[in-house]
Chain A
Amino acid sequence: MSDPHLLRQGAEEIAAPFPALLVEAEHLATTVLLGEHGRRRAGLGDDFWQYRPALPFDEARMIDWRRSGRADTAFVREREWQIAQSVILWVDQSASMSFGSRTDGPTKGHRAKVLALAAAVLMLRAGERVGLTGLRLPPRSGEGQLLRMAALLSEDHDVDYGAPEAGGMLPHSRALFVSDFLGDIAPVEAALTKAADRGVRGALLQVLDPQEEAFPFEGRTIFESMSGSLRHETLKARDLKDRYLARLAERKDRLDTLARRTGWQFSTHHTGDSGAAALLWIHGAMERRS
């Protein structure tokens, strides 16, 4: 799954059925970069917006003489104000994401990367600028960005659980964090708080394996994290099931609360389910105005 081309191909496939994702750009002033989306008001841009009667503060060179010639008053031609939104992605590339209970099914990491890239494809197609958190890949538009992103995403990290990097987020941009969120929650909390401080909003997508939801274990078992740094031994695994599920629910609840407090969206996706459903959710979450 580390081949960037394969990764990209999967992402393209999954993104194909979707309409262009239009991310609403909210702020103009700070990220003054022209994009393709008309803001439905006059401003900087290439497309014609309207003619309006020239006012006294308009300079003479602003007057559109062709239009003014057909009437008695002078008109000024205004263009639509166009900007491009920046979307920052963070995909957990830690070891815990490489878990997959079914040999023929995808690992969590693979599903997460495919979903992220699919979202990126959609957004790039809509003319947005997409990048990765940190300073690894600043947001840019264009097809080339996808390749670079796929190359970066196909790296796997050695750490057990990943923590989102809040750095590199442009103020008032959008963000998408994809992880299992099974590790320490404090970095997530910090990152989200920081993002909220900068006016960044977005979505948290938790990707879980069906086994992590069902906990179908019995007997004497030693549970190890994927890199083996954490371990827990039990004599009766079945006994732990209820308490494990309670903790998992608590974790989800916490993330949900956190997201709502910071104006983010939160959802859980299982690798046993179809990836399209998750992408649809991402589509909805990114499009939402707030």
Chain B
Amino acid sequence: MATIIKEEKLSSIEQFNCNSCGNGLEVFNPRAKYISCQYCGSVLDTKSEQHEILMSMSPPTEHQPMSFIKVGLLANFFDKKYQVIARTRWQQDYYEYWSEEGETGYSRELWIYDEWLMISEQRTYFYLVEDKDGYYISEEIVPDNPSLPNESSHWSFMKNQRPQIINEYGSASVIYFEGESNYQIKLNDLIQFASYKHKNTIYTAEWRINELNNQIKEIEFFKEDKISKKEIIQAFENNEELDGLRRKGEIWQWLTYGAFASAILFFVLMFTSFGGTKQVFTQTFNFAELNDSALFKSKPIQLDETGLYCIELRGGIEVTNSEAFVLAYFLNNEDEVINHLDGDFSVYSGFDSDGYWTESTEEADKLVKVKETGTYHAKLMLDREDAVTGSVTLNIFSGVVLTRYYVIGWLIFLLLGFIFRSSMKKYF
């Protein structure tokens, strides 16, 4: 298991207390002009002596981060150390492409996502985007064939890419900000965007419109690659805050593997336990020897081991459409009846529209736990019509294993395995 290296946070260039709530703030980005207090939402000026409050955002409780990521955490990306220094929450009001059963169209959607600003030791940046669906690494790129999307819904701006369906287009505005910023934070600052997908990467163009003259102010192009939650957790693992999360994830992981391993074990045991039964007694009694008024004594039944035994009566009726009832008493060596087994046997047959049929019941058995070894014997009685001929065999088997617990076991552990697995998935 990886040892957690407690990495040091980046060295801050400034520390001061928030004028509004008094909580300590640290500035890591030398170019940052503004810092939004993550505790009370006030935006302060970093450069001036007094750090005056410039504006107030909505309180942080309204816009809590979606997962464990928060401002101040360290992360390892692209073999470099990064620190989270800001978060911008955007609300997207856009149209999303759909296609179903030959029909296509755009549906209006609202979506919220967070952009985490990550700064490296060398003060280079990238954005980590987080939304309900997962995480993405966003990078500004220089397009090969720049253009703005127009009414036709196919578009692309990189070479070696056929124009793709525009997946989403619309606008987005900032609804919350925390952390350091080089620019003045403008709530409700609106951007227009359009994006398409090529392989597993999302390509987006974003532009701002000058409200005064309705002209575009600036256009930027980005690409976004999805990154799995597992990689995210790995990237952030050197944070104390993540210890608790990681430990929980590992516990679920062990429980999941343990449950599946147990399920497999029980499944295998269920099959392997069928062997090992041994016949320790057998005797066949002809119906002619038995009757319903006198008991017929069997040979001695020697049971030398304690444990589970299976006692079985097998009928062999020779006449169809007849019945016989057999009762076997079991006696210990003090000649006391201690158990019994009865068999209600019958054989029927006939013809119907499907052809010839037979129905028979010719077996009766029970499992018993023998606690005292010794010599036992059986006494049998039989009730039948005189014309019914046949025989009945008494068999006793040792080395019997109850498979029912293995069946219950593997079913329950299989179910538990899937339940644990879904909990585990939250961490990996």
A and B associate in one complex: no
List B residues at the A interface (Cβ < 8 Å).
none
